[in-house]
Every structure is written in C-alpha cells, then in structure tokens.
Amino acid sequence: MIRIPPAALIGLFFTGLYFFVAIFAPLIAPYSMTEIVGDVWEPSSSEHWLGTDNIGRDLLTRMIYGGRTTIFIATAATILSFSLGSILGFTAAVVGGWVDQAMSRFVDLIMSIPTLIFALVVLSVMPVTLFMLIMVMGLLDSTRVYRLARAVAVDINVMDFVEAAKLRGEGRRWIIFREILPNALSPLVAEMGLRFIFAVLFVSTLSFLGLGVQPPNADWGGIVKENKDGIVYGIPAALVPAVAIATLAISVNLVADWVLNRTTSLKGGRG
Amino acid sequence: MSDKLLKVENLKIGARIYPPGEKPRNIDIVHGVSFELEKGKVLGLIGESGAGKSTIGLASMAYGRGGVEITGGKVWVNGREILGTNLKDLRKLRGTEVTYVSQSAAASFNPAKKIMEQVIEASLHQGKFSKKEAEARAVELFTKLGLPDPENIGDRYPHQVSGGQLQRCMTALALCPEPDLVVFDEPTTALDVTTQIDVLMAIKDAIRDTGVAALYITHDLAVVAQVSDEIMVLRMGDMVEHGTTDQIINNPVEEYTRDLVSVRSTQHDGKPPTDNPVLTVENVTARYKGTNFDVLHNVTMELHPGQTLAVVGESGSGKSTTARVITGLLPPREGKIHFDGRDLSSDLEGRSRDDLRELQMIYQMADVAMNPRQTVGTIIGRPLEFYFGMRGAEKKKRILELLEEIEMGPEFMDRYPAELSGGQKQRVCIARALAAKPKVIICDEVTSALDPLVADGILKLLENLQKIENVAYLFITHDLATVKAIADSIAVMYQGRVVRYGPKAEVLAPPFDDYTDLLLSSVPEMRLGWLEEVVQSRKMESAGN
C-alpha cells in the first residue's frame, strides 16, 4: 500500500479533475460552446454558475471546452518535446564527438532566440492550426529538454555499468534505453511537470496575443483576452481562467514533486 | 579521575533511517560501549565498516553526524561531562581540547584558503595564541611531521601539496591548538602504502612529542598495532575485545579477533607458466587523448591460462590504464595485444563479439558497476541473452547455477543492487563476468573497497572459480597481501613502466630493485615494533649510501 502525502493527494485530485473534465467536456458542459444563452457579462446564477462572457455565452461551458483545448495542446507539446529532446540529448551524450558538438551548438542557436518571438514569427507566416501550434511549441521546448537530458546522460555515461555494457558489445540503443534512460527518469519526470505548465502558459500567451487557438474555439488564454475589457467595469470573468491556470500549475507540480521523491528513494536510485 | 582524560560509559548511539517504502524507524548503532583513556595514551578502535568506530570517535566530541544521535551513556573529557552541555561550551571543547583528523584530507581542507590560514584557524578562534605564536607553532609542527620546507609550506594551497603531505598538514591542524585528545579517523586509509609509512611515523612521533592522547580509528589491524597502546575491537556496535596491543595481536581471546589477526595469512602456491599464454601485452605505449605525455611505456606482460597475473603498483603507476588498453577502451600508440593466439584489434569497435565475450572485467566499486535500476537476475542474465541467445527457462536455470557458484541463493534474483551488501555486490559482478564464459577476467582492485574478512571471502571464491572454470585473472591491486594470496606471477609497475616481472617466487625473492624493495617493506605487518624496524633500516640504508 502506497502512502500518499496530503500535498500530493491535493495535487492528484485537481490534476485528475482537470483532465477528467477536459476529456469528457462535451458530456459535462451544460450548454454548447458557441451558443449565446444570455446577456453580456451576466453575474453568476443558478443557471450560469460562472456567469456569461463578453457576448453572452455560458462562461462555465467556455471554461470546460477551453480547458480541453489548452490541456490537449500542452500535453501533446510536452510529449513531443520530451520524446524528441531526451532521445536526442541521450544520443548526443553517448555518441559524443562532433555529433554532440553539432547538435548542441544548433540547440544553442535556437535557444538564443526568445521563444515567444520565435513562435510569433513562425505562427504569423504559417496557418494557425492545432497541429502547427503543437509542433511549434513541442520543437521549441525540446531544446530545453535536450539540454537537461544531455547533462544527466553525460553523468551517467561515465559510470562503470555503462562502461561494462560497452565492453560487452551492447549497441547504442540498449545503452540509451536500458542503461541510461531508467537512471535519468527522475530528473526528467520533475522537469516534465514544469514543462507541461510552461506549455499551458505558453499556449495561453499565444491565444491572448491572438496567434494561438482561434475563435470561436475556446481556450483559457483566449477567454482572458475576450473578457479582459470587463475588468475595467469590475467584472471578474477574465480572472476565472487565470485561477484555473494557477491551480492546474500548482497541482501538477505537487504531483511531480511527489513522483520525484518516490523515484529517487526507490531502490537506491540517483538523487 | 584526574589522569583519566577521556571516560566513556555505556555509550549508546542511535540513528533514524528511512528505508524505501517503509515508515522511518530508529535503529541502534552503538549498544553500550565503555572505555577509558589516560593522558598520552593511544587507543585503537578497530572493526569493519558499520562497526561504529567513527561514530564512537565523534561521540567523544559530543557530535553525531547527520541524523545520528547519542541516546544514552556518559562521556567525560578532563573530568567534565560533555553530553548534554550547550553548544557554546561544546564549541570551546571542540577544536581546543579535542580535535579531529579525518580520512580524506583533500575533502576536508578548504581549497580556496592557504594551508597556514586553516592550520591556525582554531587556535586563533579560541584566543589561545596570537597569530605569530600560532604560526610559529604550526611551523614547528610541520618540521616535526617531516614536511618539506616547513617555513613556507603553509603558504601553499591544499592542491599544491601531495595527498600524504596534506594528511600530515591536517595532523598539524589538529595538534596546533595543543589539544588533550586527538581523534584520528582512518588517517592513512586513502594513502599508498609507501606514503602511509611516512605519515604513520610522523603521527606516532607527534603523539609522543606532544603528549596528547589519541583515539586511532582504522579497519587495518596491522596499522593500528604500530601506533596504539591499547586496542578495542568493535563489531556492529558492540565491543568484542579490549586489551593491550600486545595481547590483541599475539594472544587474541575472541574468535572474531582471531579471524581479523589471521586474515592476511592466506597463501597460494604459484603455478609455473605454461607454453602458450592466453593474453600477451607486447611493448605497449599509451597516452590519453588530449595529453602530450605517455602514461604507459613499453609495457610487456603475459598471462597463462588458468593462472593469475597480479599487476601491483601505487596509484598513478598505470595499472588501470593497462587494463583499459587491454579492453580496447584506450587504443595504444604502439604495441600489440595478443589474445588466445590471435591479434586483438586495438580499439573496441574492431573487436568481434567473441573477443569481447572471452575478455571480461570486474570493477573496484561494485555499486557503480551495476545498473541500480536492474535486478540481479537482469544483470547476470543479460550476458547470457546477449552472447548465447538464452531465453526464458534456460536462462533462468543458468542464472540460478551462477548464483549458486557465487554462493548466493535463488532469492537474490529479484533484488536490486542497493539491497545487497558490499561483498554480495562484488559477487554478482563476478557472476556477470562468469556468465560470458570468459577465458580472461580483468579484476581491477576488486577487493580494495571491501572489509578484510569480506575481501578474503571474495579472494577464496575467485580462486575456487579459477579451478572450476579454468579462467585466467589479470589482477590489478595495490595490496601486496592480496597478491601473495592469489598470484601465480607478478608485474610490479612504477610510473607507467613494468619494473619487475616474473613468477611470484622470483619477484618476491631478493635481490630486489629499489622500488620493489620499498613497496614490499612498506606493507604493514601484524606485529609490534614493525614500523620502527622499517624506519630504522631505511635510515641505515640511506646513511650507508
């Protein structure tokens, strides 16, 4: 029986809740996403729990569908960046030499351009689709993952058990996936939580700037953008997605911390 | 009471441990140990790792290292009880009345400060001496400890002196504030034997000249026999035997002490070389990438089937580099490796799978030589799978056979390396090497990280396996006692060259070359007065020259 500390329980609960709502959005949402159901910026009521938005759509419905889009994009981008970044990073560390140099300097080059500006430039010349968003975010983020994965793998690569595998004649695939990956997992998992949150923030930023998810589709950054003018009149609609982003960020981090703690104490793994 | 400098009564020490997947719990490390120490006397604390030696040593300063807590008993220093006193009083005690010399001087000195600054720091802090007095005293101690250029050595940084010199600097640091008691925690363990002898003599002289009392902690009974008046043998937090050095060495009562005393006496009769060596290293010269000097010069040696070639030397002599050249990790600049009648490719990529299979390696640090995320079954099973394509039941059967050969049961199959003891880990590494059915196993300091009794077990196991499997060992070690116990022939290395090579009986018989003589005479022997004899005979030799 695993004992889960209370902080991780809270994190697990909210993360689970958000993902559950995201997956089953069409079943849970009380109205349809684009349907205008009332006046502009109605306060919360029994019919509209969170009130209505700037053109009279149900805000709760928008939030649920928005969460679905945001979480989907962030998850896909994180998976992409981790698969790509860690495999390339491990490869660079294991192969070494000019391959490592070429890859690392290329990554330096990409990283020297501010991510947001890079993304804005790419998205303003390319069609803004979900696929495009995920690709741009995933590729940009993979440079960070590459850095971490390479650093961790360089450390592990010089350990005697890797040397023993090389002396046995093992191929690179075995060394990367069976010797290095299991030992590099814990720092990567911790980073994954962080990267996921950065992805959420990033896609929200892009939508807020108008280059992310396009209306009438909802996403949290877009909801902030649509309702930002209401703040001047004391209408809190724009704060609702902000709170959602914050709680998701905190809960995912609580879970990541817990996973990190467990995996490092497990079987004498690396700290 | 007044002549009892240190009195420890029924000392109990506990610690809180955090086993994975279980609730944290408290364990006892030391269960009620008592002893007394008079002024000017040296008490040796001896035992294997985990015996509680260092913990007891630190408790005499009322200190418990990370998570360790003194749970009971009393400790008096100079007639004052020190347990339970406040931190301010303890601070006065530590560094003036009781000082500490740790195992790794390199890790204990601040690399950013000059040696002198650190040596006199405690004395200045306590206001015992003025800066000038303290510096004069430090220079005097440097001279006493036989450091070169005692006037100026304090102006150097820790990285500018050798390991043995730094260890002596630390002894000076401990003696500088004129303490009543010095705790030496394995001060020579990290040093080469030839350096150890100088440091030991320096420590012994300094103790005699300054009249301090000392606790001398070590796992090496032969070392402690040279410096202490009394010896206390510890095992798993309990006192096994306490007596004068003479009694413990020459007349031990307890069985455990007898084992410790006789541990180095294993002998092995060298076999004569056969006609066809299985491994020949021919005129190998090698250097590391990016450097411009050779670390191996013209190294030549032969290993015969089913025999053991011991490669002996101090750190930096090129032993391990020779192993790297043989395994193909470091292609030599010149020279050749012949293996079983064929030429081996100089680099790893050029070698066939059979070349790799027949030449296996066992490492010094068994815990980093195994992937911490793989079970023992996976670790031993992988070579079977990789070289012989074994799967399923066939593989499992072979793993169980191998576990039996290394004297471990089937229940170890699903354990992770972290759940094994040091000796068990090394056994698993041996099984992994054997799984490949090799002709040669390179053993790189395989017993140096282990306690003497455990190391003895590993050596016996290796010898048995050699008889069964007819495998040859290239045995790299710095420990001549190990060499005597296992070797058929010996290559002595010094500064990248083989200075002496041949069958064991010849190498270990006079006339010696200078270096082999120095090396052989530096190995501590388990008898009283050995240290003085060696130092005396060396003085006479140098006077004769």
pLDDT tens, B425-473?
999 999 999 999 999 999 998 988 888 888 888 998 999 999 988 999 9
Q: Which backbone phi and psi does B228 adopt, to 5 degrees?
A: -105, 160
Average pLDDT for B90-102: 86
DSSP H or E segment with residue B171: helix B163-175
- Cβ distance of A166 and B386 shorter than 8 Å: no
B371 with A183: CB under 8 angstroms?
yes
Chain B residues in contact with A270 (beta carbon < 8 A): 372
Segment B115-166, tens digit of pLDDT: 999 999 888 887 888 999 999 999 998 988 888 888 988 899 988 888 888 8
Which of A160, A167, A267 has its CB closest to that of B416?
A267
Q: Which residues have C-beta within 8 Å of that of residue A192, sequence separation ≥ 6?
A: A78, A82, A256
Question: Average pLDDT for consecutive 10-residue bins of chain A (271 residues)?
Answer: 80 92 87 82 82 84 91 94 94 92 94 91 88 92 94 91 91 91 86 89 90 85 88 85 91 85 51 33
Which of A167, A170, A267 has its CB closest to that of B418?
A267
Burial category of B142 from C-beta neighbours within 10 Å (exposed 0-12, middle 13-18, buried 19 and up): buried
B454 is written with which tokens? 């455990």
Q: What is the pLDDT of residue B428?
A: 94
Q: Which residues have C-beta within 8 Å of that of residue B435, sequence separation ≥ 6?
A: B380, B381, B383, B384, B398, B399, B402
Does residue B264 surpass a pLDDT of 70?
Answer: no
Does residue B476 surpass a pLDDT of 60?
Answer: yes
Across B62-167, where does the E strand assignment appear? 68-77, 80-81, 98-101
Chain B residues in contact with A261 (beta carbon < 8 A): none
> Can you tell me whether residue B125 is helix, strand or coil?
helix
Closest CA to B326 of B475, B488, B437: B475
Q: Please name the residue of chain A whose CA is at the shortest distance from the CA of residue B383.
A: A168
Tell whether the torsion through CA atoms of B469, B470, B474 and B476 is positive or negative: positive
Q: What is the pLDDT of residue A268?
A: 39
Distance from CA of A16 to the nearest CA of B (A): 24
CA B284, CA B326: separation in Å to the nearest integer?
10
A137 with A203: CB under 8 angstroms?
yes
Question: Residues of B48-78 as b/e, b for ≥16 C-beta within 10 angstroms?
Answer: beebbbbbbbbbbbbbbeeebebeebebbbb
What is the DSSP annotation of A10-60? Answer: HHHHHHHHHHHHHHTHHHH-SS-TT-B-SSTTPPP-SSSTT-B-TTSBBHH
DSSP H or E segment with residue B240: strand B238-244
Q: B416 and chain A: CB distance < 8 Å anywhere?
A: yes
Q: What is the pLDDT of residue A269?
A: 37
Distance from CA of B368 to the nearest CA of A (A): 6
Closest CA to B263 of B504, B464, B455, B476: B455
CA A152, CA B356: separation in Å to the nearest integer?
28
Distance from CA of B425 to the nearest CA of A (A): 13
SS3 sequence, B12-41? EEEEEECCCCCCCEEEEEEEEEEEEEECCC
Please state, rounded to an integer, the average pLDDT across all residues of chain B.
87
Residue A204 identity: S
CA B473, CA B415: separation in Å to the nearest integer?
28
Q: B372 and chain A: CB distance < 8 Å anywhere?
A: yes
A117 is written with which tokens? 């500006």
**Look-up of token digits 């002198």:** B116
DSSP H or E segment with residue B308: strand B308-312
Chain A residues in contact with B419 (beta carbon < 8 A): 267-268
Q: What is the pLDDT of residue B63?
A: 85
Q: What is the pLDDT of residue B535?
A: 84
- Ordered alpha helix ranges (H), B263-317: none
Chain B residues in contact with A94 (beta carbon < 8 A): none
Chain A residues in contact with B328 (beta carbon < 8 A): 167
Segment B52-71, tens digit of pLDDT: 888 888 888 888 877 788 88
Residue B64 identity: G
Q: B330 and chain A: CB distance < 8 Å anywhere?
A: no
Within a 10 A sphere around the Cβ of B473, how many other Cβ atoms? 24
Q: What is the pLDDT of residue B22?
A: 66
CA B404, CA B382: separation in Å to the nearest integer?
17
Q: Are strands B296-303 and B440-444 parallel, antiparallel or unpaired?
A: unpaired
Residue A135 identity: M
CA B60, CA B93: separation in Å to the nearest integer?
10
Long-range contacts of B516-521 (CB under 8 A, 24+ apart): B516/B492, B518/B194, B519/B193, B519/B194, B519/B312, B519/B313, B519/B314, B519/B480, B519/B492, B520/B480
- Cβ distance of B356 and A161 shorter than 8 Å: no
Cβ-Cβ contacts under 8 Å between A and B: the total is 61
- Cβ distance of B383 and A168 shorter than 8 Å: yes
Length of chain B: 545
Burial category of B194 from C-beta neighbours within 10 Å (exposed 0-12, middle 13-18, buried 19 and up): middle
Does residue B98 surpass a pLDDT of 50?
Answer: yes
Closest CA to B155 of B114, B108, B208: B114
Question: To probe the interface with A, which of B339, B347, B354, B371 has the most A CB atoms within 10 Å?
Answer: B371
Closest CA to A188 of A226, A151, A163: A151
Chain A residues in contact with B417 (beta carbon < 8 A): 268
What is the DSSP annotation of B343-374? Answer: EPPSSGGG--HHHHHHEEEE-S-TTTSS-TTS
B122 with B99: CB under 8 angstroms?
yes
CA A162, CA B363: separation in Å to the nearest integer?
12
Which of B21, B356, B417 has its CB closest to that of A169?
B356
Segment B171-202, tens digit of pLDDT: 899 988 888 999 999 888 777 888 888 888 88
B302 is written with which tokens? 């032969």
- Cβ distance of A265 and B351 shorter than 8 Å: no
Which of B328, B365, B386 has its CB closest to that of A160?
B365
Segment B345-360, tens digit of pLDDT: 888 888 998 999 999 9
Q: What is the pLDDT of residue A58?
A: 87
Which of B361, B363, B372 has its CB closest to that of A267?
B372
CA B156, CA B195: separation in Å to the nearest integer?
20
Q: Which backbone phi and psi does B529 adopt, to 5 degrees?
A: 80, 5
Segment B363-418, tens digit of pLDDT: 988 888 999 889 999 999 999 999 999 998 999 999 999 999 898 888 899 888 88
DSSP designation for B271:
P
pLDDT band at B21 (very low <50, low <70, confident <90, very high): low
Within a 10 A sphere around the Cβ of B305, how many other Cβ atoms? 16
Percent of chain B with pLDDT over 90: 30
Average pLDDT for B201-223: 87
Q: What is the pLDDT of residue B462?
A: 92
Q: Please name the residue of chain B whose CA is at the shortest distance from the CA of residue A3.
A: B21
- Cβ distance of A265 and B18 shorter than 8 Å: yes
CA B195, CA B191: separation in Å to the nearest integer?
6
Q: Please name the residue of chain B whose CA is at the shortest distance from the CA of residue A167.
A: B356
Q: What is the pLDDT of residue A1?
A: 52
DSSP H or E segment with residue B385: helix B376-388
CA B201, CA A71: separation in Å to the nearest integer?
70
Segment B360-377, tens digit of pLDDT: 999 988 888 999 889 999
- Cβ distance of B368 and A160 shorter than 8 Å: yes
A80 with A199: CB under 8 angstroms?
no
Chain B residues in contact with A172 (beta carbon < 8 A): none
Count of CA atoms in the C-beta half-sphere (13 A) of A161: 30
Q: Are strands B489-494 and B308-312 parallel, antiparallel or unpaired?
A: parallel
pTM as predicted:
0.81
